[in-house]
């Protein structure tokens, strides 16, 4: 006595497909967009791990801070894209690349703000805080230009690294 397996997925109704105006069925990859928050989290974990390793290395060797930022972002992008391709069995599309880039850079800057606040409150004393505030009030342009440049650097490096890793790990390109 054999039984037929029950089908749990619902087929798209005729009225639902005509209302949306879309010709793609609900089971296609375009219809179900993956949640990018978990991949932004993977990006953040990769960035934190790389930054921590470089902080340890910088106790022995002097490294350029912009280079450390770019390499940390590349490592975070690799981990996020690798996990996305492993879970979704496809490469990121342009919208997902943009969301991952902006989300990743936002997390990087949030972590940087938390790091700076930790230094501000736990490492600096009142005199050091006053000197830093006085310096930034007298000449704010170098500080603002440095912040803009590092923001542009992080956006550009995140975009290029996510795009490059996405092309490198694309399962469809590997089979061709």
pLDDT: is 2 or 55 the higher one? Answer: 55
Q: What is the pLDDT of residue 82?
A: 94
- Assessment of whether the complete model's pTM goes beyond 0.95: no
Nearest residue to 81 via CA among 172, 148, 170, 146: 170
Which residues, in sequence order, are CB contacts of 125 under 8 Å at separation 6+? none
Q: Which residue has the tokens 């936002």?
A: 106
Q: Give CA–CA dist 157/82, Å, rounded.
A: 17
Query: What residue ranges do the domains of the chain occupy?
Result: 35-175
pLDDT, one tens digit per residue, over 54-112 is: 999 999 999 998 999 999 999 999 999 999 999 988 999 999 999 999 999 999 899 88
Which residues, in sequence order, are CB contacts of 29 under 8 Å at separation 6+? 88, 90
CB-based burial label for 13 (10 Å; 0-12, 13-18, 19+) = exposed
Which residues, in sequence order, are CB contacts of 88 under 8 Å at separation 6+? 29, 34
The region of weakest confidence among 28-37, 57-66, 83-92, 131-140 is 28-37
Q: What is the pLDDT of residue 19?
A: 47
């Amino acid at each position: 006595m054999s039984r037929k397996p029950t089908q749990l997925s619902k087929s798209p109704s005729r009225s639902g497909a005509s209302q949306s105006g879309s010709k793609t069925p609900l089971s296609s990859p375009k219809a179900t967009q993956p949640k990018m928050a978990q991949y932004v989290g993977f990006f953040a974990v990769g960035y934190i791990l790389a930054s921590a390793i470089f902080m340890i290395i910088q106790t022995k060797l002097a490294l350029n801070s912009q280079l450390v930022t770019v390499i940390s972002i590349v490592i975070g992008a690799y981990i996020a894209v690798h996990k996305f391709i492993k879970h979704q069995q496809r490469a990121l599309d342009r919208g997902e690349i943009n969301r991952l880039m902006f989300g990743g850079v936002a997390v990087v800057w949030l972590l940087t703000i938390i790091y700076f606040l930790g230094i501000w409150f736990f490492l600096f004393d009142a005199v050091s805080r006053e000197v830093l505030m006085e310096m930034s009030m007298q000449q704010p342009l170098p500080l603002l230009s440095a912040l803009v440049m590092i923001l542009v650097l992080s956006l550009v490096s995140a975009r290029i690294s996510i795009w490059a890793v996405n092309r490198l790990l694309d399962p469809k390109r590997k089979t061709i």
